[in-house]
């Protein structure tokens, strides 16, 4: 006896409530093992491969690549525990015997919309979430075909939930009335576009496969409604009126008529990492009364010290690691800047460990990996950890835990060839140190004009946790260590 189990998008931790499907790792009909990754999703923190806790045959997938799903939404269904000659006992949860991907693909090619199956005809078949196999793999295969039919429609809908078993598996009732159940729409974003503009999706005929409504169809209907100078919703007296769809080749960025007053352009959804950055930066600006101070420093001696350290034959030390070492020493002297503000309790929470974040630019946007317990690491350990986290950031394999929990951020924007900046604090931290490029400049050194390696340092701080005197003292100490690295050795 086989049982169809539904696997839902799990809670990925760190307060995350949704994720975007980036890439499916399995197809309908594939055999999966327990804890095998089945989908790659992108959260606001990182790319994550999600393993399935069941072993068996994938009977349905929910959501196309690019679809955002909330935590708890169905991801896949898996038929588990089939009995077969020489196989496992029913309900064991192990992989089905003798049912492979190639056979599943062949069966999918034979399925036709509306075609009844033995499993669908069986009393209490898919309607109660089980597939009756009567002890044979052939019966199970019929249940797989039925589920595959349903999954094709549900994946096209972009729906993440099902109101009832008959909505999800229309073949169990033998009806295909398009007015019943959800309208097939390519993604939730298109459904939201229609909803926000008052457009009834039931009045459209989709130009996609099997009547799937595309974004171009919705935009065409909105432009047509605007050009005719009428409301976009169809009067209730004509419940089955149809709006002619756009040709499938119509691009989503087709210019709207001048009557709409909407300028043309390309829209990029604020989601994933980009959306998380936007939310965090907006919150920082709303909640934190920040201020910035800066100073130019002569980094010539720091650069010489690094050259001497790397000439000793040991592991190479990065400049970022030296700056991080200076930061942790400065925070030990000015712990107010390693704090966070609890506005509900109206308290400043001073933290006893430094989890140092650093800005890393990747193809997917700006991320801030966190070096845990940076105050306890030497320059060599910091160099190794920076290298590891940077490589993981570029590969998109950082975990949510490696991207959260920072208490202070070091931002080396000098790698972009700029001298200065006023950083936005990484909420809920209290400060960020920015470092510009190090370039030769005329500088008065020991009473004479000379060419020295000069860098601009800037500190943005939360004015609730300290005043300018504390912030200035922190930045001055950092500058002194940059100009004379021996200062750091005296204070360790």
Question: Does residue 80 contact residue 56 with C-beta atoms inside 8 Å?
Answer: yes
Pick the catalytic residue: 130, 352, 467, 480? 467
Give me 168's structure tokens: 């999800």
Are 139 and 132 in contact by the 8 Å Cβ rule? The answer is yes
Query: What is the predicted pLDDT for the residue at 292?
Result: 95
DSSP label at residue 319: H
**Site of tokens 């197809």:** 27
Residues 207-225, mean pLDDT to the nearest whole number: 78
Using the predicted structure, report yes or no on whether residue 154 has a pLDDT greater than 50: no
CATH architecture for residues 2-172:
Beta Barrel (2.40)
Per the model's pLDDT, the better-predicted residue between 344 and 170 turns out to be 344
Binned at pLDDT 50, 70 and 90, residue 205 comes out as confident
pLDDT class of 361 with cuts at 50, 70, 90:
confident
More confidently predicted of 121 and 191? 191
CB contact at 8 A, 432 and 423: yes
Q: Which of 158-167, 190-199, 292-301, 305-314 has the lowest mean pLDDT?
A: 158-167
* Model pLDDT, residue 44: 67
CA distance 468 to 474: 10
- Domain spans in the chain, listed from the N-terminal domain onward: 2-172, 188-260, 272-491
Phi, psi (degrees; rounded to nearest 5) at 142: -65, -40
Fill in the DSSP letter of residue 344: T
Q: Which two tokens stand for residue 202?
A: 């039931």
Q: Structure tokens of 76? A: 């896949």
At residue 372, does pLDDT exceed 60? Answer: yes
pLDDT score of 298: 97
Q: Are 382 and 435 in contact (CB under 8 A)?
A: no
Q: Is 463 a catalytic residue?
A: yes
Concerning whether 169 is annotated as a catalytic residue, the answer is no
* pLDDT at residue 209, rounded to an integer: 64
pLDDT at 183: 66
Candidates 180, 279, 378, 463; catalytic one = 463
pLDDT at position 158 over 80: no
C-alpha separations of 390 from 57, 101, 154, 434, 481 in Å = 38, 38, 39, 18, 25
| Highest-confidence segment of 133-142, 259-268, 473-482 | 473-482
393 contacts: CB under 8 Å, gap ≥ 6: 360, 362, 367, 369
What pLDDT score was predicted for residue 287?
Answer: 94
Q: Which range is least confidently modeled, 138-147, 251-260, 438-447, 480-489?
A: 138-147
Q: Is the pLDDT of residue 132 over 80?
A: no
Please say if the pLDDT value at position 138 is more than 60.
Answer: no
Q: Could you say which architecture CATH assigns to the domain 272-491?
A: 2-Layer Sandwich (3.30)
Q: Which band of pLDDT confidence, cut at 50, 70 and 90, is reported for residue 234?
A: very low
Confidence at residue 145, expressed as pLDDT on a 0 to 100 scale: 43
**pLDDT for the residue numbered 448:** 95
* Mean confidence (pLDDT) of the chain: 75
Task: Look at residue 399 and tell me whether its pLDDT is greater than 50.
Answer: yes
φ, ψ for residue 87, nearest 5 deg: -95, -165
What is residue 156's predicted lDDT score, i.e. its pLDDT? Answer: 43
pLDDT at 90 exceeding the cut of 90: no
pLDDT for the residue numbered 11: 77
pLDDT at 365: 76
Tell me how far the alpha carbon of residue 447 is from its chain's centroid: 54
Per-residue model confidence (pLDDT) at position 196: 80
Distance CA 30, CA 144 (A): 11
The answer to whether residue 293 scores a pLDDT higher than 60 is yes
Q: What would the pLDDT profile of 294-306 be if each residue is shown by its tens digit?
A: 999 999 999 999 9
Residue 165 pLDDT greater than 80, yes or no: no
Mean pLDDT check: name the lowest of 56-60, 192-196, 405-409: 192-196
How confident is residue 363, by pLDDT bands cut at 50, 70 and 90?
Answer: confident
Output DSSP code: residue 256: P
Q: What is the pLDDT of residue 131?
A: 35
Per the CB < 8 A criterion, the answer to whether 439 and 52 are in contact is no
- pLDDT beyond 90 at 452: yes
Rounded Cα gap, residues 433 and 431, in angstroms: 7
Closest CA to 144 of 8, 30, 25, 37: 30
pLDDT of residue 412: 92
Helix (H) or strand (E) run with residue 189 in it: helix 188-196
């Amino acid at each position: 006896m086989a049982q169809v189990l539904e696997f839902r998008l799990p809670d990925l931790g760190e307060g995350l409530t949704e994720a975007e499907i980036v890439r499916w790792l399995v197809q309908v009909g594939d055999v999966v093992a327990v804890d095998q990754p089945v989908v790659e999703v992108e959260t606001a923190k990182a790319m994550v491969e999600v393993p399935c806790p069941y072993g068996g045959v994938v009977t349905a997938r929910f959501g196309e690549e690019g679809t955002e799903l909330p935590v708890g939404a169905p991801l896949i269904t898996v038929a588990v525990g089939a009995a077969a000659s020489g196989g496992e006992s029913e309900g064991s949860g192990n992989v089905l015997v003798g049912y492979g991907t190639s056979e599943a693909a062949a069966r999918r090619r034979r399925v036709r919309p509306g075609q009844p199956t033995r499993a669908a005809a069986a009393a209490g078949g898919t309607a109660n979430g089980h597939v009756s196999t009567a002890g044979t793999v052939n019966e199970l295969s019929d249940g797989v075909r039925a589920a595959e039919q349903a999954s094709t429609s549900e994946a096209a809908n972009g729906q993440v939930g099902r109101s009832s078993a008959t909505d999800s598996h229309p073949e169990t009732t033998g009806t295909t009335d398009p007015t019943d159940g959800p309208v097939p729409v390519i993604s939730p974003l298109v459904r939201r576009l229609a909803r926000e503009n008052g457009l009834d999706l039931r009045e459209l005929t989709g130009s996609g496969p099997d009547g799937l409504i595309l974004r171009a169809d919705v935009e065409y209907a909105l432009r047509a409604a605007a050009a005719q100078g009428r409301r976009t919703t169809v009067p209730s007296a004509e419940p089955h009126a149809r709006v002619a769809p756009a040709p499938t080749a119509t691009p989503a960025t087709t210019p709207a008529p001048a009557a709409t007053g909407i300028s043309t352009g390309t829209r990029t959804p604020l989601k994933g990492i980009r959306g998380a950055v936007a939310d965090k930066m907006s919150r920082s600006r709303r909640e934190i009364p920040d201020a910035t101070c800066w100073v130019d420093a002569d980094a010539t001696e720091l650069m010489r010290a690094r050259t001497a350290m790397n000439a000793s034959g040991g592991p190479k030390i990065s400049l970022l690691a030296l700056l991080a070492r200076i930061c942790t020493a400065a925070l030990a002297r000015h712990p107010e800047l390693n704090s966070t503000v609890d506005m509900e309790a109206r308290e400043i929470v001073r933290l006893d460990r430094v989890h140092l974040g650093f800005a890393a630019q990747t193809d997917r946007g700006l991320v801030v990996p966190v070096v845990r317990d940076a105050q306890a690491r030497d320059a060599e350990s910091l160099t190794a950890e920076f290298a590891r986290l940077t490589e993981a950031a570029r590969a998109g394999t950082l975990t949510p835990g490696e991207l959260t929990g920072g208490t202070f951020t070091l931002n080396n924007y000098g790698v972009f060839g700029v001298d200065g900046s006023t950083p936005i604090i990484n909420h809920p931290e209290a400060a960020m140190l920015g470092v510009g490029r190090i370039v030769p400049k005329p500088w008065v050194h020991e009473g004479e004009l000379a060419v020295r390696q000069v860098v601009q340092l800037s500190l943005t701080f939360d004015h609730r946790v300290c005043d300018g005197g504390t912030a200035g003292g922190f930045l001055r100490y950092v500058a002194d260590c940059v100009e004379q690295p021996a200062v750091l050795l005296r204070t360790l």
